[in-house]
Chains A and B, each alone.
Chain A
Amino acid sequence: MISRRQFLQTTVTGALAALGARRLFAESPADPNECAGVLVDLTRCIGCRACENACRVRAGFGPLPTAAIGYGAGEGRLSFRTRTFIDFRDGNLKPKQPVKRQCMHCLDPACVSVCPVAALEKTAAGPVVYHENVCIGCRYCILACPFSVPKYEWDNALMPRVGKCDFCADRQAKGQSPACVATCPTGALKFGTRRGVLQEAKARVDSQPNRYTSIYGEDVVGGTSWIYLSDTAPEEVGFPRGLPKEPLPSLTWKAISKLPFVIIGVGLILSAVVRWRTRTGVEQP
């Protein structure tokens, strides 16, 4: 029964290697608060959609059609070609509250954790970027994102891509601010480090407590790089209800981290059973 013993050894060494690999890979990146961040002050947004237009131009889809520029017109949702847009929501305090939508660039993103081939990556600088030449098109990121940000190129038959805001990672690398921030005429968008924009948000709330009621993005799903300041509750401006404060990937990791123990446990039990059932003196079937 050498084969069985060899097998047992392989199982145990494999499982130990997996345990070791976990430590190896689990190194934490640079302080996430020093990464890039943006403050969105919804009270300063006038819904001009200049950010939407700038985003389309920068992503190579051309400017918004002239007919679409106006209050509430256009596609009105995120899509493969629309990585940011102004959501004209019905709020309680104002007749229409324009809300800019784009990827929140979570500090511990669900999309990055679910991708089986690491086509999505949270870079050290802050942006969550998509490597289209690695993607296999499983669309798990689209399902997993708590803010429903990644969108799909459904009409591409051979090489469909995932479309999402990449925080203008290329512009950031050149020391520029993202296209939407650079074009915003009212100062509703402010680019900086996450720590910086969070401090700014708190300072604004402190100085004008009557103007602001909520900061969103500080700790939801472990924190996001984009921070929203608004005069209404986060649910009122369309953020999903009931999201936990812990990062979503940790929900999955609780299950995946048990994997080596399952391998060792089941392997040992079954090997013992085989040994017991084939021991000498027992009639071989």
Chain B
Amino acid sequence: MNEFNWILALFRTVGVLVMMSAAAFACWLLSGREFPKRVSAAFGWLLLIVLWGLGGYALTSRYALGLGAVTNLSDQFPWGIWKALVLCGIAFAAGGFLTACMVYIFRLRTFYPIQRPVVLAAYLSYILSASGALLVDLGRYHQIWRPIFYWQHHSVLFEVAWCVMLYTGVLSVEFAPIVLDRFGWTRISHFVHVITVPFVICGVILSTLHQSSLGSLFLIVPTKLLPLWYTPLLPILFFLSALISGFAMAIFVSALSFWTFRRPLEPRVLTSLAKGMTPLLLLYLFLRVADITARNAWVYVFRCPLQGFTFAWEMLLLTLPLFVVLKTRWSGRRRWAFAAAIPVITGVILNRLNVAWIGLLPATGSHYFPSWIETAVVLNLVSFGVVIFGLAARYLPLFEHPDIGGHHASGATVDVRAIVPRKASGHV
């Protein structure tokens, strides 16, 4: 037993050190290969190094000791915050298929500038929340490939697994030009361009299936999920709220990335996204209220205080932006579009947490709350996404327009080389 503890300590130490060095290296790259000069920058470095250090400890503990030792999961509550993270991340990623659809299918020129940042954010969100979180959450993470060969088409989770695999492939194709342009591989880039439109159509179909099937996952627990959230409409509501969250995420990601990296962004991009979001939001809220009324479920708001509270917040967060957007004199302002996006994203994420966690507590008689290791892993996965996005914004032609027309735009390659020093290419 002593020997085992010694090995565990070594494993943990290595994990922590590797993660902390990775954090320091990422910070160094992010700040343009320089060490921090200001106190605020140094604080940022410290924060990420500590967070990833905790992540190293958390991940090594999870793989060395198993789920029971590091999580608060139990037989009463088998799905926890990691499964909820999958739902939240996929809903957040909806901006990717929405933007791709507007750009490649509807050819709306307004949204060409934001296609690349939004698709990258969706790509990272998919990889980290679906594959990343599942690699931590699955009891037999090393068997994650099994659904490829062991088919069970009655299972929603089987459908979800295939949607994740196929749509990650589609996102790779949508994301590829960013990398190909960076290195000037025009021939492959041209090939990718030819197959893009069919792939985008596949991507929209897969996203429709995937977003709605995440809601269908909970159709099987009519007695366990609180009636405030359990309804046969779950797949439709999940798809609709994912669309809404997609608009909000497109606003959020493009505004933040363009503002952070000081690129000019037309206000019209954000305001038209906010306007597109409004009718869907109204429809969603109407469906929710009508559905709860039809099933006589309002009583649960008062019967379960915690769930009533989170439900009220969920509805409030999704109603607030309506006032912002419907006020015509505000809707022309991009700042208000951004202000409308944040409660929408928070509201949809809270909805996913309610369905996958809080709404399941009363009937299962559980008091599940994520352990610090579960929380640390979630924060780490999110921070991976932010850091990789920042690195991409710094070293890849992320703010170039996508190549939609028939000819390959070589201009992007030239622009990038002008921005990034030539010696950078070896490291990136």
A137 touches B404 (CB 8 A): no
The stretch of A83-91, A175-183, A270-278 in contact with B is: A270-278
- The answer to whether B141 touches A3 (Cβ under 8 A) is no
Do residues B79 and A252 form an inter-chain contact, with CB atoms below 8 A?
no
In angstroms, Cα B213 to Cα A115, docked, is 14
Tell me what chain B mostly uses at the interface: helix, strand, loop, or mixed: helix
Q: How far is the CA of A155 from the CA of B161 in the complex (A)?
A: 26
- Per-position contact with A for B200-225: 1 when CB-CB < 8 Å, else 0? 01101100110011001101111110
Residues on B with beta carbons closer than 8 Å to the beta carbon of A6: 198
Interface: B157 (CB within 8 A): yes
CB distance from B71 to the nearest CB of A (A): 8
For chain B, residues 131 to 151, give those with C-beta under 8 angstroms from any C-beta of chain A: 138-141, 143-144, 146-147, 150-151
Q: Which of B106-114, B179-187, B275-283, B374-382 contacts A (4 or more CB under 8 A)?
A: B106-114
- Interchain CB contact under 8 A, A262 and B150: no
Judge whether B157 and A138 touch: CB under 8 Å.
yes
Query: Can you name the residue of chain B whose Cβ is closest to the Cβ of A263?
Result: B205
Contact A113 B216, beta carbon cutoff 8 Å:
no
Q: Is the CB of B66 within 8 A of A157?
A: yes
Interface pair A251/B232, CB less than 8 Å apart: yes
Taking residues whose C-beta sits less than 8 angstroms from the other chain, chain A's interface range is 35 or more
A263 near B209: Cβ-Cβ < 8 Å = yes
On whether the beta carbons of A259 and B143 are closer than 8 Å, the reply is no
- Tell me, rounded to whole Å, the shortest Cβ–Cβ distance linking B132 to chain A: 15
CB of A101 to closest CB in B, whole Å: 13
Interface contact B154-A4, CB-CB below 8 Å: no
**Which residues on B sit within 8 Å (CB–CB) of A113?**
154-155, 220
B112: chain A residues at CB < 8 Å are: 285
A116 vs B150: C-alpha distance when bound (angstroms):
8
Residues A24-81 near B (CB distance < 8 A): 25, 77-79
Which residues on A sit within 8 Å (CB–CB) of B69?
A: 154-155, 157
The answer to the question of A148 belonging to the interface, with a C-beta cut-off of 8 Å to chain B, is yes
Q: Which residue of the partner chain A has the closest CB to B151?
A: A118
Most buried by A among B69, B205, B213, B224: B205
B29 on the A face (CB < 8 A): no
Q: Which of A137, A242, A263, A284 contacts B406 (CB 8 A)?
A: A284
- On B, residues with C-beta under 8 Å from A are 63-69, 73-76, 78-79, 101, 104-107, 109, 112, 138-141, 143-144, 146-147, 150-161, 194-195, 197-198, 201-202, 204-205, 208-209, 212-213, 216-217, 219-224, 232, 235, 364, 404-406
A-B contact pairs, 24 of them (CB 8 A): A3-B194, A7-B201, A25-B153, A115-B157, A116-B152, A116-B155, A118-B150, A135-B139, A136-B140, A142-B78, A146-B223, A148-B364, A152-B68, A152-B78, A154-B73, A156-B139, A160-B66, A240-B223, A241-B223, A255-B156, A256-B153, A259-B209, A263-B209, A278-B107
Instruction: Kindly list 16 other residue pairs between chains A and B, CB separation below 8 angstroms, not including A140-B79, A143-B220, A155-B69.
Output: A7-B202, A79-B75, A114-B156, A115-B155, A116-B158, A134-B146, A136-B139, A136-B140, A136-B147, A138-B138, A148-B75, A156-B66, A157-B66, A244-B222, A251-B232, A252-B156
Residues of A at the B interface (CB closer than 8 Å) are 3-4, 6-7, 11, 21-22, 25, 77-79, 110, 112-119, 134-140, 142-144, 146, 148, 151-152, 154-160, 240-244, 248-249, 251-256, 259, 262-263, 266-267, 270-271, 273-274, 277-278, 284-285
Top-9 shortest CB links A-B: A137-B139, A154-B68, A157-B66, A7-B198, A117-B150, A142-B78, A116-B158, A137-B140, A116-B157
